[in-house]
Structure 1
Amino acid sequence: MAALVLGIATIIVIVLRTRLDAFVALLIASLVTGFVAGAPASKVIEYITTGFGTTLSSIGIVIGLGVGLGKILEVSGAADALARTFVRALGKGREPWAMGATGAVVSIPVFCDSGYVIMNPLARSIARVKRAGYVTLALALGCGMTLTHHLVPPTPGPLGVAGILGADLGGLVLAGLAFSVVLLPVVVGYAKWMGPKLESEISTEVREAVYGKAEIPATAARVGGGGADAPVDKASGYDDSPAQPDPAAALGTPPAGAKPHRVGAFTAFLPLLVPLLLIVVNTVATAIDKNSQGEAALKDETKYDPSPVPEALAFIGHPVVALLIGLVLAVYVLLPRWIPRSKVGGWLAEAAASAGLIILITGAGGALGQVLRETGVGDELAETISSWSLPGVLVPFLVASLVRVAQGSGTVAMITAASVSAPLVDGLGISALLAALACCAGSMVFSYFNDSYFWVVTRFTGLDGVAAMRGWSGITTAVWAGSLPLLLIASLFL
């Protein structure tokens, strides 16, 4: 137990108090845990390299492909097209719902930070038209992104958790989407409740950027009233004035004779929808096939002999193949033909660079989990916790929550919780899928000053100090609290 406590404390201290990052912190924590637990030095190194390699063999390629897909959605303008489609579909008076849903969809393949920067002009243009409600829209957009960023693969954090715990990826996609749908009303409800209270707290600079220098009527407390001078898409409230940033500006100027590049809603959704459907269909088909072969096939993978159709679906629905198909679709469907190969290669290289640290952190998390398993720390923790009258699902949930509050990064929190929980799953009496959900949900709690996304949302929203915490820290804590009863209900079925 001392080995575990010192290991987690090492991660927190290094991330908060040194110049080193989470990857190095997890590796040092693995060494500390192994040595305190009494393992020989050579064995500790062996455990670390084995855990690192095993984890990345199952998930490293998938993370790289997922980040590449997100980059193409970003630079092509497809993410913006999805946003405008949601606004049109949900209609006037439901703008917070549109923003929350937009954030949730866009954040599945696109990192929260860049996704929020891309989508924030849409929230501003709607608020400009309505002459009110910017904070409500900004909070709904930001926390909608938080939901799927923390809960739904192929976002890197949940992918890493699935790899460390051995959870079925298709099952995690389905469960994460279900959680996100149920929690979206919490996002919108909190944003609509708190947004009007904070509207007067917006900084002067942001207020003028959103509403102009004209004074906003004091009675405009919520989205839905007033007019505007800016030219807008009447179906959606989207500002198409020249001041609106071009969502596909990264593509550059088209050559002479080429038409301006526009991405339709269906086309924009296709590279994201196809891989998710393939992964889910693989999961469902395999489950049905195993069930038809009896209890032995369900309990023991070695006794399962896949039928021809499920076997074919298992191939194209494997996350590596499915996301590879999605990336190819994105490059050839979303990007115009006049984009040179070198430019596409540059974008994919940028995506690979951004994915690199996530992949290393995920592998280091797997290394820590292997050390906990091999040294017996996991078994000892399981025996200790089993003596408490505490639902097993709360263990990974609380570990993720504590690490999140301590060091800020949701990805590091869920990876650390998965590493600690991996040796405990059987002893806690919970499935790998339920443990993965608990790690992901627990990592959403109380985003504040030590979280980089906190600064992105609050700076763009124009909130500071207590107002920033009431708005952003409050809404992330609300969805965290809302996920707890969902986990307890899910523990009855998963």
Structure 2
Amino acid sequence: MDLQLLLALVLGIATIIVLVLRTRLDAFVALLIAALVTGLVAGQPVLEIVSAITTGFGNTLASIGIVIGLGVGIGKILEVSGAANALALAFLRVFGKGREPWALGSVGALVSIPVFCDSGYVIMNPLARSIARVKRAGYVTLALALGCGMTLTHHLVPPTPGPLAVAGILGADLGLLIVVGLVFTVVLLPVVVLYARWIGPKLEPSVEESVREAVYGTARTAGGTTTAVADRPGTAGPGRGADGELEDGLDAEARGPVADPAVDLGEPPAGAKPHRVGAFTASLPLLVPLVLIIANTVTGAIDQNAQGVIGGDEYEPSAWAVPFAFIGNPVIALVIGMVLALYVLLPRWTPRNKAHGWFAEAAASAGLILLITGAGGALGQVLRSSGVGDALAEAIAATPLPAFLVPFLIATLVRIAQGSGTVAMITAASVTAPLVTSLDIAPVVAAMACTAGSMVFSYFNDSYFWVVTRFTGLQGVDALRGWSGITTAVWAGSIPLLFVLNVVLG
């Protein structure tokens, strides 16, 4: 590889890491500056650099910006309506007593598809505390399973914004990426549960006293000392029979109103019943768009096979496939999901201004991700137009290293360096986008490598690390053993899955 182009690539990535870690600039500006640095060091004319940045930014957001906006809007309505909580309770009942870590890991994975990890964990953590209070043990196991279940789909499954951005940058088929991401999630979920069950009992004695009291409760004894109610056998508490056994895995706190009482859904008319959302109803705004997108992918593959074409610009859907291509387009599918969320999950008396306000809040939370996604596309375009991408592809082709491991390793290094999984996967996708065609890497394989690599070793520079460990009551080395360890376990578990995926799709 030409030394100047190699230096351009290295300095570009280093610029992102240094600016995010050492300055007041965020990832959006850091990615734009990295694109400038890369182009300048590579010897690209300055006006061409600016043109590449604006072109890459616009093309990326044109393909994925609307989808990200609609996805976070659906997630916000799921949150405020109580639908996310309804899905969680349904999973607990399906899995049954004794399988609560499996239930919470699955709940986390489901809820985190439309809802950001941080807010999703805050919403669902009271459920973990309720179950631990009834069972009188196992809070750390449940909290870690819930948190890492959310990590899986947050990193692996669209319409979570990170994977959506990667799909747009790499040109990966969204329906196929959803299917593969769900398969990875199902296969990696046992890793989450087994690690949580192994490490949880070891860390349980280290939980902060304030968190322990909040989870298990306290009671004053005759001697004036304070002991945890959960430690007194045979105590009948909320959701527990007289013999202290778990009735249905839920206590009174978990069985309360499905809609969050802190959220004002509007003034109900006189005599109206309290608003509650059933599990099936709650799943519709999430399930219908996913099914439509996947149906589009499946019918498109069948139609292409019948026509004897393998994707690309030469493919034109047959008359029978056009309706599937229309309603299964991510934009149309998520518009349908948004309509369902607003008119099925919210009570009829919710005023328009409240719904508009919630969508505005969702859009605000997605704004920075949209900017980072566009800036990632800008960096990728500079890498293409400057020749850095082609040079990197030639260098990789001359080594025995599997090409799909390049985005995986880049995402891993950037994640460890600066903490954000979304920034890590977008950076990896931007750097390796020029390689997809030249090295004949399947776009979905490259996308999964970016997203899986970004799961590694969540620690102090990751905001979600602090959310999980503070709610769980773990500090220092215990926090690293619990949360950093479980995220690294699923990262390692994804490596053999990537090799299998490369064989299947390569």
Q: Select which of 306, 311, 315 maps to 2:317.
A: 306
Cα pair 2:71 2:114 within 8 Å, conserved: yes
Instruction: Map Cα deviations across residues 74-125 of structure 1 (whole Å, 9 max, x no partner).
Output: 0000000000000000000000000000000000000000000000000000
Distance 1:73 1:300 in 2: 36
Q: Select which of 223, 242, 252 maps to 1:240.
A: 252
Q: How far 1:248 sits from its partner (Å)?
A: 2.3
Q: How far 1:238 sits from its partner (Å)?
A: 1.8
- Seen in structure 2, the aligned counterparts of structure 1 residues 8 and 422 have a Cα distance that, compared at 3 Å, is same
| CA RMSD, 1 decimal | 1.8
Q: How far 1:364 sits from its partner (Å)?
A: 0.3
Partner of 2:114: helix, strand, or coil?
Answer: coil
- Seen in structure 2, the aligned counterparts of structure 1 residues 416 and 163 have a Cα distance that, compared at 3 Å, is same
- Seen in structure 2, the aligned counterparts of structure 1 residues 291 and 235 have a Cα distance that, compared at 3 Å, is farther
- Are residues 1:261 and 2:272 paired? no
Q: Select which of 293, 300, 307 maps to 1:279.
A: 293
Distance 2:256 2:469 in 1: 21
- Seen in structure 2, the aligned counterparts of structure 1 residues 154 and 68 have a Cα distance that, compared at 3 Å, is same
Instruction: Map Cα deviations across residues 32-91 of structure 1 (whole Å, 9 max, x no partner).
Output: 001000011111000000000000000000000000000000000000000000000000
Report 1:203-222 matches (<5 A).
203-214=208-219, 215=227
TM-score, structure 2 as length reference: 0.93
- Seen in structure 2, the aligned counterparts of structure 1 residues 235 and 277 have a Cα distance that, compared at 3 Å, is farther
Letter of the 1:141 counterpart: L
Q: Select which of 79, 82, 92 maps to 1:77.
A: 82
- Are residues 1:136 and 2:141 paired? yes
Report 1:19-168 matches (<5 A).
19-168=24-173
Partner of 1:298: helix, strand, or coil?
Answer: coil
Distance 2:253 2:381 in 1: 55
Partner of 1:337: 348
Distance 2:333 2:473 in 1: 40
Partner of 1:448: 459
Letter of the 2:264 counterpart: L
Q: How far 1:324 sits from its partner (Å)?
A: 0.5
Distance 2:366 2:253 in 1: 35
Distance 2:197 2:81 in 1: 32
Identity rate, percent: 72
- Are residues 1:293 and 2:307 paired? yes
Distance 1:44 1:70 in 2: 37
- Are residues 1:353 and 2:358 paired? no
Q: How far 1:230 sits from its partner (Å)?
A: 1.9
Distance 1:245 1:480 in 2: 37
Q: How far 1:231 sits from its partner (Å)?
A: 3.6
Letter of the 1:173 counterpart: I
Q: How far 1:308 sits from its partner (Å)?
A: 1.4
Cα pair 2:415 2:421 within 8 Å, conserved: yes
Partner of 2:433: helix, strand, or coil?
Answer: helix
Instruction: Map Cα deviations across residues 421-473 of structure 1 (whole Å, 9 max, x no partner).
Output: 10011233311110000000000000000000000000000001000000000
Partner of 2:494: 483
Distance 1:248 1:131 in 2: 25
- Are residues 1:434 and 2:442 paired? no
Structure 1: unaligned runs, 5 residues or longer: none
Partner of 1:366: 377
Partner of 1:313: helix, strand, or coil?
Answer: helix
Partner of 2:193: 188
- Seen in structure 2, the aligned counterparts of structure 1 residues 243 and 79 have a Cα distance that, compared at 3 Å, is closer
Q: How far 1:170 sits from its partner (Å)?
A: 0.3
Q: Select which of 214, 237, 246 maps to 1:229.
A: 237
Distance 1:318 1:268 in 2: 22
Q: How far 1:393 sits from its partner (Å)?
A: 1.3
Cα pair 1:162 1:436 within 8 Å, conserved: yes
- Are residues 1:14 and 2:30 paired? no
- Seen in structure 2, the aligned counterparts of structure 1 residues 117 and 247 have a Cα distance that, compared at 3 Å, is farther
Partner of 1:474: 485
Aligned length: 487
Distance 1:242 1:403 in 2: 39
Greater mean alpha carbon deviation, residues 235-244 or residues 203-212? 235-244
TM-score, structure 1 as length reference: 0.96
Partner of 1:338: helix, strand, or coil?
Answer: coil
Q: How far 1:204 sits from its partner (Å)?
A: 0.6
Partner of 2:445: helix, strand, or coil?
Answer: helix
Greater mean alpha carbon deviation, residues 481-490 or residues 428-437? 428-437
